[in-house]
Structure 1
Amino acid sequence: MPSPPFTIPLPKPVLLLALAVAATLLYAAGLHATLPRDRPAPPPGPATIRHGHTALALRLAKQLLPGAKGNVAFSPVSIHAALSLVALGARGATLQQLLAFLGAPSAAALADSARRVVHRVLADRAASGGPRVLFGGGIWADASCGALKTAFRDVAVQSYKSEARTVNFANEPEEVAKAINGWAKKATNNIIDSIISPKDITAGTVLVLANAVYFKAKWEIPFESSDTRPGSFHRLDGSRVDAQFMSRTMYAAQYASCSDGFKVLQLPYEHGRGDADETRYSMYLFLPDERHGITSMVDAVTAGPDYLYAVLNKTAANTVRVTLPKFAISFNRNLVDDLRLLGLSLPFSAGSADLRGIFEKEWQAFIGKVLHKAVVKVDEERTEAAAVTMIMMDGAGREQPVEFVADHPFSFFIMEERSGVIVFAGHVLDPTAN
């Protein structure tokens, strides 16, 4: 007789999409860990960039929960990569603050780490039966700012897969927005078709840095659609909504654990065949014991990378009965205020930002917006997710053009300037009248 099942029903809030799809958090932190079932190993030291990846993910997971009016999903690796590229062009105190925030000893170390993550961890494994994974970057620089520094452009291409383009933000905002959205749609396999509007582009916009990540993978053990049933999902305000719940029971085959006040469940995805370098992805779900316990659980889980790894390493093979709602999340947010609250301030200050390592002319710029959009879909067969992070920079001290739109009655003088003689004068009340 099998032992009683380890029951994990999930008709409750599921921790910021399991801490922003914990697989994203873990591959950015793990780089091919080798514990049983490839659970992530504890980082070797607090100064490692791997530790910085995880720390940023946890801090944002905690930051985005309070006051959230709906579901939350984000891509830590996308946000970390975007800020790492900014660090490549930073100097002085701005660089030091970015390095401390990202957990890295130098911009070169960040670039080296990004190259390994982008080319190994985020490598597409669809051809061998593993996850479909895409990553790419884009740079849109205003023509008035001159050329990008060669060192900045080269590392952006080699480490971040970023293609640079020259545009005219001030005169062609609609065309530029259309081009960026077209890039985002293609980079996310048509999941995200819009990240920017022409209104986001101002007269001071000089640079846009963006990256996109796409992930699609089948469960290692799929849920049977015939077992999906309607049920009630209990919301934090005490109300209930109808949802479709997937379910299955696995005997001594599912990795799970019970901690103080919450449970953890690992749901692995299919991985590739016959390649020792294949990545192995999982979604880790964190479920509070109490229906209103998500805040205290998040406080505990996001205490630090070391605690998170300790919790995940407790998971062991159990007989598990899972009840999980199908869901689809779309999340869109400007992260500037959140990053400020987490301690990153200098890159956002027109007076203090030092980003002179980007343009050859050492154009003084600062970050105006950090737009992030993520979409995640979970059903019986698979998870499909995509995210775009876009950093918009303005020119510090750049003169704003005067908007002179003569679409109403106006006057004119034709003057000889040296003498001050007015040769003609008039008022235009109707330009169509002869």
Structure 2
Amino acid sequence: MSTTSVRTRRPAVLLLCCAALLTACGSSGTGTAVVRADPVTLPPADPAQVAATAAATGAFGLDLLHTLTADPGAAGRNLVLSPSGLATVLAMVLPGARGTTAEELAQALHTGLTPEQYALATGALNRPGAAAGPAGPVLRQSDDLWAQHDYPLDRHYLGVLAAAFGTGVHTADFRKDPEGARKAVNDVVAKATEGRIKELFAQGRINSGTRLALTDALYLKADWAEPFEAGKSADRPFHRLDGTGADVPTMARTTGLRYAEGSGGILGEPWQAVELPYAGSTLAMDLVVPAQGGFAAFRKGLDQAELDRILGSLTERTVDLTLPKFHFDTANELTPALKALGVKAVFGPGADLSGIPGPGADGALAVGTVVQKATVQVDEQGTVAAAGSGVGMDVNAAPAPADPVQLHIDRPFLFLVRDTATGRPLFLGQVTDPSAAG
């Protein structure tokens, strides 16, 4: 059954400062009201810049893939990520970044556009447009900014986000109720992804030092243009990376599809590729399959130019296709991956995000955490996939909570009772045998 494509977009209305809104509403805690910003006047997104940003997002996604699978322990695991989702939340950061902080972000995102141009191009890509027709997939992407209710924000920055993404500002009280704020942020992402992405920000990722949280929620439900017949599905062998095998539920059909194969070239590994279109849209799933034993080398050598070459060589063929059904989730704290890609200044005490706070803000901002959760399910009918991406910004870069240290007091110890305001010791002593009376 086909469903209508919908995208959550928010009309821009009058800008109010967060503190003024809460005063008017008589609230001081985490709220659901959205502060709206009038979009700044910017020229429409240039089609050439939109196309360049699409290619840049692809290159950024491959960089993430390579980085997240560089560790031998992670190289063989299932992985799903959303380059679009992460690029979007970083595009929401970029207009407020300055100096080295902005340069590192732009380089990692493979863009030479101005922050405003990049935001507009990314926002244009996030609108379904021709990708999903009226009888096609459900495709929703929504973006939100959560801010400490009394933390002033730069009006130009808010205007850029409104113009590019239709983003308003949810008010929260991270300072006094970080856990309540975390749950509120997570609940909005969960609702936007039909409950597929829960707990985007894990416990402790949002803390009393958090002042802003940026989120992108992406949801796709798409039927194949030609569904697989359930009666043809059966358990078939699948060969794992380590050489072991297993019988897994596998779909099958023989039909006309866009197909290509090759070997040698830059990658030096044989491969096959096929494209499965979704009904009523220009959306499709491309599958690129290296020869047995060549997966690791192929993945390591794959870049955007080579992927473009592979996809550009697809032509209509009759294909006898089998495809395992799959359904899995991936959760990543992406700060290490972004640092490996050269994005470092934004996380440190020297971060320059001075284009975000307004006058009177209580300290400089730095990014404390970048997270993404994604899920994908592929079966005979089609694909359901969702992703939540988030950036938490803290005052003075409050670090993520460390693992607890262990202290088992099972030996003699000293104790001190003191006035911490003056340092005056009230009591001082030692305990060598807690069971003794004196």
Normalising by structure 1, we get a TM-score of 0.75
Which of structure 1's runs of 4+ aligned residues deviate more than 6 A?
A: 43-47, 397-400, 409-413
Q: Which residue of 2 aligns with 1:283?
A: 285
Q: In the TM superposition, what whole-angstrom CA distance separates every residue of 1:1-22 from its partner, at most 9, and x where no partner exists?
A: xxxxxxxxxxxxxxxxxxxxxx
Q: 1:161 to 1:71 in 2, by over 3 A?
A: farther
Q: 1:44 to 1:123 in 2, by over 3 A?
A: closer
Q: 1:411 to 1:57 in 2, by over 3 A?
A: closer
Structure 1 unmatched ranges of 5 or more: 1-42, 272-278, 401-408, 418-434
What amino acid sits opposite 1:90 in the alignment? A
What amino acid sits opposite 1:89 in the alignment? G
Q: 1:324 to 1:47 in 2, by over 3 A?
A: closer
Structural mapping, 1:15-414, within 5 Å = 48-66=52-70, 67=72, 68=74, 69-102=76-109, 103-121=111-129, 125=133, 128-144=134-150, 146-250=151-255, 253-260=256-263, 261-271=270-280, 279-290=281-292, 292-302=293-303, 305-351=304-350, 353-361=351-359, 363-396=363-396
**1:334 CA drift (Å):** 0.5
Q: Which has the higher contact order (CA 8 A, sep 6+)?
A: 1
Q: 1:293 to 1:386 in 2, by over 3 A?
A: same
Q: Is the 8 A contact 2:132 2:139 kept in 1?
A: yes
Q: Say which SS state the counterpart of residue 204 (structure 2) adopts.
A: helix
Q: 1:350 to 1:241 in 2, by over 3 A?
A: farther
**1:72 CA drift (Å):** 0.2
Q: 1: distance between equivalents of 2:305 and 2:113?
A: 19
Taking only aligned residues, the RMSD between alpha carbons, in angstroms, comes to 2.8
Q: 1: distance between equivalents of 2:418 and 2:395?
A: 34
Q: Which residue of 1 aligns with 2:12?
A: none
Q: 2: distance between equivalents of 1:281 and 1:399?
A: 40
Q: 1: distance between equivalents of 2:301 and 2:242?
A: 22
What amino acid sits opposite 2:240 in the alignment? R
What amino acid sits opposite 2:278 in the alignment? Y
Q: 1: distance between equivalents of 2:66 and 2:203?
A: 32
What amino acid sits opposite 1:287 in the alignment? V
Q: Is the 8 A contact 1:48 1:104 kept in 2?
A: no
What amino acid sits opposite 1:262 in the alignment? W
Q: Say which SS state the counterpart of residue 148 (structure 1) adopts.
A: coil
Q: Is the 8 A contact 1:47 1:104 kept in 2?
A: no
Q: 1: distance between equivalents of 2:261 and 2:237?
A: 24
What amino acid sits opposite 1:387 in the alignment? A
Deviating more after overlay: 386-395 vs 235-244: 235-244
What amino acid sits opposite 2:176 in the alignment? N
Normalising by structure 2, we get a TM-score of 0.74
User: Identity across aligned pairs (percent)?
Assistant: 29
Q: 1:201 to 1:112 in 2, by over 3 A?
A: closer
Q: Say which SS state the counterpart of residue 116 (structure 2) adopts.
A: helix
Count of residue pairs the alignment pairs up: 350
What amino acid sits opposite 2:85 in the alignment? S
Q: 1: distance between equivalents of 2:398 and 2:86?
A: 27
Q: Say which SS state the counterpart of residue 212 (structure 2) adopts.
A: strand
Deviating more after overlay: 72-81 vs 115-124: 115-124
What amino acid sits opposite 1:169 in the alignment? F
Q: Say which SS state the counterpart of residue 198 (structure 1) adopts.
A: coil
**1:55 CA drift (Å):** 1.1
Q: 2: distance between equivalents of 1:87 and 1:46?
A: 16
**1:124 CA drift (Å):** 6.0
